[in-house]
Amino acid sequence: MAAEKAYCRIPVKLIAKFADSFPYDVFLKLSDAKIVKISHQNEPIKDAIVRYHKEKGVQDIYVLKEDYDKILNTLKEQFKDKLFSPYVSENERIELLEKSYSMVKDSLTSVGISEATMEFAKKISQSCLRVVMESKNIFSLLQKFSNGCEEEFKKCIVVGYLSAGMVDHFDWRTDSMKEKCALSAILCDILLSNKEIKDMQGLSASRPLAGDAKNKIALHIKNVVNILKVEKWISKESLSMIEQHHEEQDGMGFPLGLGHTSISQLSAIFIVAMRFSDLLFLNNFSYKEKDNMLATMRVKYNLGVFKKATHSLSELLDKE
C-alpha cells in the first residue's frame, strides 16, 4: 500500500483511552491509495476519534512514522496507571493489551526496532503478567482471553503464564526472570501472521515440524533474533529463549539442533511451556485432558533440564 509507507497504524481504542489531547497529526485511511488528515497536532483528538470509531466503524488511525517512537513513549508512560485504574474493567484491560501488542508487532515489521518499541513491549508483557497471575488456573485463563482475542495473542498469554509459573518452582526464581519469560512470549513469534500461529497450534509434542513448514518457521526465528539482537534493549536470557524455542531435548529441533545438555534450564522451561500450550490449544483447553497432556509431556521430555521443566509444569498444574 503505497499511501501507507510514510505512516504507522494505531488502534483507535488506544487513542480513545489514553489520549485526551494529542500533540501529533492524525490521519485516516480512505482507501489503499488515499490517506487524509483528520486532526492537526495539539488539537483535541479524543472526541473526533471516538466519533469516527462509533459512526463509521473505524478501527485504526495513522500517524507519521517520524512521530511513532514519541507516541510509543507517550502511551508507555500512561499505560500502567490507565490500564489498572479501578474504572477499567478486566475485559477492557485485555482488549487494550491486545491492541498494544498489535502496535509492537506493526513497529517491528514496518518501522524496525527502536528503544521505544522494546520499552513498550516490556510494559505490555509486565502488564500481561500481572493480569494473568490473577487467574485461578490456566483453564480459567482462557475464558478471560477467548472473547475477541486473536490466536497469536492468546498464545503469548498462555506461554507467558506457564513459563513464569514454572519458574516459581525453582530456588533461583525472581520477578525479573518471570518478566523475561513474559517478554519472550510476546516477542518470539511476533513476525508470524495470525494464520501461521494458528497452523502451528495444530502441532503436538509428538508431531514436530518438518519440510517446508520447518524451514519457514526456522527462518522466522532467525529473522526475529536478528531484529532483537541489541543487548541494551533485550536480555541475553530472553534472546536465548526466543532463539531456542523450537529446539528439542533430542537435538532434533531447529534452527540450531541443540540437545538437552546444551540448553539452559530457563530455555528448557520456555520450550516446555511452548509445547504444552500447543497441546492446550489442540485440546480446546479441556480440563479433563490435563492428565493425558501431562503424560505426553513426561514421555517426550524426560532428561536433564527438560525433566526438571516438565516436573515444574506438573507442580504448577497440580497446584491449580
- Residue 201's pLDDT is what? 60
Q: What angle do CA 175, 285, 209 make, to 5 degrees?
A: 85
Q: What backbone torsions phi and psi does residue 170 show, to the nearest 5 degrees?
A: -115, 150
pLDDT at 73: 85
Q: What percent of the chain has pLDDT over 70?
A: 87
- Calculate mean pLDDT across residues 123-145: 80
Q: What is the mean pLDDT of residues 27-37?
A: 83
> What sign does the dihedral 63-66-69-71 (CA atoms) show?
negative
Q: Which pLDDT band holds residue 250 (cuts at 50, 70, 90)?
A: very high
- The set of cell numbers assigned to 206 is 509428538
Question: What is the rounded average pLDDT of the residues 57-72?
Answer: 86
Alpha carbons 60 and 53: distance in angstroms, whole number: 8
pLDDT grade for 2, boundaries at 50, 70 and 90: very low
1: how many CB neighbours lie within 10 A of its CB? 10
Query: Considering only the top CATH level, what class is 135-319?
Result: mainly alpha
Q: How confident is the model at residue 253 (pLDDT cuts 50, 70, 90)?
A: confident
C-alpha grid cell, residue 313: 509444569
For the chain, the C-alpha Rg in angstroms (whole number) is 20
End-to-end CA distance of the chain: 48
Per-residue pLDDT, 46: 63
Q: In what order do the strands lie in the sheet with 34-39?
A: 7-11, 60-64, 26-31, 34-39
The Cα 147–Cα 161 span in angstroms is: 18
Contact predicate 9/62, CB 8 Å = yes
Q: Is pLDDT larger for residue 271 or for residue 6? A: 271
Q: What is the pLDDT of residue 289?
A: 92
Which of these ranges, 67-76, 147-156, 298-307, has the smallest mean pLDDT?
Answer: 147-156
DSSP string, 2-68: GGGTTEEEEEHHHHHHH-SB-SS-EEEEEETTEEEEEE-TTSB-HHHHHHHHHHH---EEEEEHHHH
pLDDT computed for residue 20 by the predictor:
65
Instruction: Give alpha helix (H) positions in 64-114.
Output: 65-83, 90-106
Is pLDDT larger for residue 290 or for residue 1? 290
> Once rounded to an integer, what is the mean pLDDT over residues 238-261?
91
pLDDT for 19: 64
pLDDT at 60 over 70: yes
CB 161 within 8 A of CB 216: no
Mean pLDDT is lowest, of 61-70, 101-110, 117-126, 214-223, for 214-223
3-class SS of residue 88:
coil
Is the pLDDT assigned to residue 97 strictly greater than 50?
yes
Interval 69-94 mean pLDDT: 82
Query: Which of the pair, 28 or 49, is modelled with greater confidence?
Result: 28
Backbone angles phi, psi at 307, to 5 degrees: -65, -45
pLDDT of residue 32: 75
Are the beta carbons of 33 and 3 closer than 8 angstroms?
A: yes
Say whether pLDDT at 170 is over 90. yes
pLDDT in tens, 178-232: 999 999 999 998 888 777 776 666 554 445 556 666 677 778 888 888 888 876 7
Residue type, 144: K
pTM of the model: 0.86
The per-residue pLDDT of the chain, averaged, comes to 84
User: Is the pLDDT score of 163 beyond 50?
Assistant: yes
Per-residue pLDDT at 133: 79
What is the distance between the alpha carbons of residues 122 and 120, in angstroms, rounded to a whole number? 5
What pLDDT does residue 181 have?
A: 95
| 3-state SS assignment for residue 190 | coil
Residue 164 has a CB neighbour count (10 Å cut-off) of: 26
